Amino acid sequence: MPTRRIIPCLDVRDGRVVKGVRFEGHRDMGSIEEHTAHYVTAGADELVFYDISASPEGRSVDLDWVRRVARLIDIPFAVAGGIRTRDQAAAVLEAGADKVSVNSPALERPELIEELARDFGSQCVVVGVDSLRDEHGDYQVKQYTGDPSMSRAAGRRTQEWVREAASRGAGEIVLNCMSRDGVRTGYDVEHTAAVIEAVPVPVIASGGAGAPEHFRDVLAAGASGALAATVFHDRLIAIPQLKEYLTTCGIDVRP
11 is a catalytic site residue: yes
Q: Determine the Cα–Cα distance for residues 82 and 150; give it in Å rounded to an integer.
A: 14
Residues contacting 188, CB < 8 A, separation 6+ = 177, 179, 180, 207, 208
Q: Determine the Cα–Cα distance for residues 156 and 161; give it in Å rounded to an integer.
A: 6
Q: Determine the Cα–Cα distance for residues 122 and 159; give it in Å rounded to an integer.
A: 20
Choice among 45, 130, 181, 217 that is catalytic: 130
Angle at 224 between CA 36 and CA 181, to 5 degrees: 60
130 is a catalytic site residue: yes
Choice among 11, 45, 181, 217 that is catalytic: 11
Residues contacting 172, CB < 8 A, separation 6+ = 99, 125, 126, 127, 201, 202, 203, 204, 224
Q: Which residues are catalytic?
A: 11, 130
